[in-house]
Structure 1
Amino acid sequence: MRSRHVSGLALVCAAVGILAGCSTLPAAGPSTTQIDPPNTNPDPIKDYLVVDLNQQVVDILSQYRVAPFSNRFAAPRPAPGQIVGVGDVLSINLFEAGQGGLFASAYGARVALQQRVDTDGSISVPYAGRVKAAGESPQVVERRIVAALEGRAIQPQALVQITETVSRSFVVNGEVSKPGRYPITAAGDRVLDVLATAGGAKQEAFETRVTLQRGSSQASAVMKDLIDNQSENVYVQPNDRIYVTKDPEIFLAFGAVPNPGPINFGIEKLSLLEAVGKAGGLIDQRSDPSAFFLFRYEPASAVRSMRPDYNGRFGEKVPVVYRVNLRDPRAYFFARNFMMRDRDVLFVSNAPLTELQKFLEILSTARNVASTAYLAQRISARL
């Protein structure tokens, strides 16, 4: 009889061993010790940095501003004044001081014509021949025409204006009311100015992404960041392309929360505390409030302010895991002032007792399997 119990126990142990060897306990993500393993070294070598959320961290990050446009496209500056370019259309008025000259007619000594700048950068002017115009201001073109007419016309004068700009224009496409090509004004136009010219964005500013393409360089920013930070509202340059898309900011929630998955911000600014609320809070029976984590990339400059000992091993974009202990009442104030960013990842680890419960459930399953096997052996022995 005793041998049968020993045999059954052996089967249970074997089943548990097989289960343990095949896989770990099922979970929605890493455990606390996997994210931040115990180590006597204060900064163990990991593929990310773990930073405890406190008031100092909140203060440092509140000063940080996303700067995709000003960083990529240098300091904002006005575009140069009116410059003639290939493909532009010029309105040219020629005048003489008296009758009987080259341009004399029944309507006076004046001629008006329009010329499109050829691919070689020049225009054709009666009696003046080919005049170089591309790359010059209208005033320079006027002087060149007058110089070419000297000795042929009576005290000639010229007035040149750009009536159609092709070379100094930009394109706006996407979620705007009036997409198309627009000329750059003499005073220069900023990104928000050209969006207004194109009829404005169709979506809310916090759900609108603006992409600026200049040559081979490209950068994107949320429209509300251009409004909040004027240094990002850079001047548009000739041949820039601006794409406006609807791109709501989201964060992703995982682990012991009622509503895991991608979640829209839904408002202009979302705090960490509000994000927890949108995810449904924490599941009482499963979550470990002391093991709440936020994953994101931070610029190296911000990390150096938070961690003066940072050795720069990750380069300019540092993977950071913020650890929040919601058992500490102060953490709720920290989370209230900690602003979320697009594509942040929240993770709430399971409580240790939850892991124990999972293990006991597996053990119970293994024991039932062993009991069934033992019963089958007895039946087989009797047959």
Structure 2
Amino acid sequence: MRSRLVSGLAAIASAGLLAGCSTLPAAGPTAQQIDPPSVNKNAIKDYVLVDLNQQVVDILSQYRVAPFAKRFAAPQPAPGQIVGLGDQLSITLFEAGQGGLFASDYGARVTLNQRVDSDGSITVPYGGKIQAAGVSPQVVERRIVAALEGRAIQPQAIVQVTETVSRSFVVNGEVGRSGRYPITGAGDRVLDALAVAGGPRQEAFETRVTLQRGSAQGSAIMKDMIENPSENVFVQPNDRIYVTKDPEIFLAFGAVPNPGPIPFGLDKISLLEAVGKAGGLIDQRSDPGAFFLFRYEPASAVRSMRPDYNGHLGDKVPVVYRVNLRDPRAYFYAKSFAVRDRDVLYVANAQLTELQKFLEILATARNVASTARTVQKIGGF
């Protein structure tokens, strides 16, 4: 009776362990879960699976991430300066002869400092309120002269903007000199603004530039703005630019020696270099034919790579790139494939690894049965 009971317990333990084979410990999905062999490719609903080849590399080389160009594209500011609310003006008034309104020991002229009021006006002695906001300094000069006609002796005026608030931008963060700076008459781009503020304190590939314009906000790595001139947009009045240290990284998971977030450490990095930074593949565990990269791509790029894509995932499409490192050509593809910030690399376990885990469970089950028999023998004394 005791023998049958112990044997039954051992059998139950073995069955429980074997039942766990469908949920073997793993660092991520298997290759079969990412690409189900029994399912049509179009049946994968949540992402698009793309095999990496030369055509894919060529297509992706034509696409660039452009958060600024799309969100903040604006024409170059009109040449010349426009007076705005809160601007400080230096106004010099001249008369043609002595004994006029502005005569003094220094001659028939006077210099006034005026700040443009909230209603856009300034006040000139003997001329009253004059509308200044929204026009050039030359227009303000003509308005002042017109207001003084008949009161001053052949009046003339020179107006200069000495401090601008309305046509300025703010730069904060990891730069040499944070502060508010005026927009020049020719217009300034974002990289010009950073140069005026003393430049970033880190390398371009470690510097993230965030532009805030009203309620809109976007960010980009500085090196992308250098490589893609369309990203270097014109600064507009009241823009705020924040500069932070934010190194580009990729995330490595699965059968690699160094999983986790890994910084680029370079201006740019290829997929092959990323594999090297993750320590390569673990010989005993990895499946070279099941190497994957996860990222979002624009729908237009996905349609170029997969003409059968029906667009059901929107403008930003989750894409899984599959790389078969058993194919020697794949190393050339990976060398030309540029890794992007926050890409996810995953190497699936080899099928042999899953078999080894299964055999370990069987060995555990045998040990349970052996222990049960030993207990039975001891109990027989």
With the shorter chain as reference, the TM-score category is over 0.9
Question: Residues of 2 paired with 1:158 and 1:100: CA distance?
Answer: 18
Superposed displacement of residue 39, structure 1: 2.9
Question: Residues of 2 paired with 1:39 and 1:76: CA distance?
Answer: 53
SS at match of 2:82: coil
Evaluate the alpha carbon distance shift between residue 6 and residue 70 of structure 1 in structure 2; reply closer, same or farther with a 3 A threshold: same
Which residue matches 2:273?
A: 274
Which residue matches 2:361?
A: 362
Question: Residues of 2 paired with 1:79 and 1:341: CA distance?
Answer: 36
- Spell out the pairing of 1:1-383 with structure 2 (5 A cutoff): 8=7, 11-21=9-19, 24-78=23-77, 81-380=80-379, 382=380
> Identity over aligned residues, as a percent?
78
Question: Residues of 1 paired with 2:39 and 2:128: CA distance?
Answer: 85
Superposed displacement of residue 108, structure 1: 1.9
Question: Residues of 2 paired with 1:321 and 1:14: CA distance?
Answer: 41
Question: Residues of 2 paired with 1:87 and 1:332: CA distance?
Answer: 61
SS at match of 1:187: coil
- Range moving further from structure 2, 95-104 or 230-239: 95-104
Query: 1:70–1:76: 8 Å Cα contact kept in structure 2?
Result: no
Question: Residues of 2 paired with 1:202 and 1:187: CA distance?
Answer: 27
**Mind listing any 5+ residue stretches in structure 2 that lack a counterpart?**
none
Q: Deviations over 1:167-206 (max 9, x none)?
A: 1111101110111111111111111111111111110001
Superposed displacement of residue 11, structure 1: 4.8
Superposed displacement of residue 74, structure 1: 2.2
Superposed displacement of residue 77, structure 1: 2.3
- Range moving further from structure 2, 18-27 or 258-267: 18-27
Letter matched to residue 77 of structure 1: Q
Q: Deviations over 1:285-339 (max 9, x none)?
A: 1111001111111111110110111111110110011000000000000000000
Q: Deviations over 1:199-245 (max 9, x none)?
A: 11110001111000000001101101111111111110111000111
Aligned-CA RMSD value: 1.9
Letter matched to residue 88 of structure 2: V
Question: Residues of 2 paired with 1:320 and 1:356: CA distance?
Answer: 29
Q: Deviations over 1:84-114 (max 9, x none)?
A: 1121110001111222221122322211111
- Range moving further from structure 2, 224-233 or 371-380: 371-380
TM-score scaled to structure 1, two decimals?
Answer: 0.95
Question: Residues of 2 paired with 1:130 and 1:170: CA distance?
Answer: 29
**Mind listing any 5+ residue stretches in structure 1 that lack a counterpart?**
none
Letter matched to residue 335 of structure 1: A
Evaluate the alpha carbon distance shift between residue 76 and residue 65 of structure 1 in structure 2; reply closer, same or farther with a 3 A threshold: farther
Superposed displacement of residue 76, structure 1: 4.6
Superposed displacement of residue 7, structure 1: 7.1
- Range moving further from structure 2, 341-350 or 15-24: 15-24
Q: Deviations over 1:23-56 (max 9, x none)?
A: 7100111101011111352322331111000000
Evaluate the alpha carbon distance shift between residue 123 and residue 76 of structure 1 in structure 2; reply closer, same or farther with a 3 A threshold: closer
Question: Residues of 2 paired with 1:16 and 1:43: CA distance?
Answer: 40
SS at match of 1:123: strand
Query: 2:6–2:376: 8 Å Cα contact kept in structure 1?
Result: no
Letter matched to residue 180 of structure 1: G
Superposed displacement of residue 79, structure 1: 5.5
TM-score scaled to structure 2, two decimals?
Answer: 0.95
Query: 1:79–1:235: 8 Å Cα contact kept in structure 2?
Result: no
Letter matched to residue 336 of structure 1: K
Letter matched to residue 82 of structure 1: Q
SS at match of 1:109: strand
Query: 2:86–2:164: 8 Å Cα contact kept in structure 1?
Result: yes
Letter matched to residue 26 of structure 1: P
Superposed displacement of residue 367, structure 1: 2.0
Query: 1:79–1:237: 8 Å Cα contact kept in structure 2?
Result: no
Query: 1:76–1:231: 8 Å Cα contact kept in structure 2?
Result: no
SS at match of 2:117: coil
Question: Residues of 2 paired with 1:379 and 1:79: CA distance?
Answer: 98
Question: Residues of 2 paired with 1:17 and 1:139: CA distance?
Answer: 92
SS at match of 1:342: coil
Letter matched to residue 330 of structure 1: R
Q: Number of aligned pairs?
A: 380
Question: Residues of 1 paired with 2:4 and 2:326: CA distance?
Answer: 46
Question: Residues of 1 paired with 2:75 and 2:292: CA distance?
Answer: 38
Query: 2:18–2:361: 8 Å Cα contact kept in structure 1?
Result: no
Evaluate the alpha carbon distance shift between residue 60 and residue 6 of structure 1 in structure 2; reply closer, same or farther with a 3 A threshold: farther
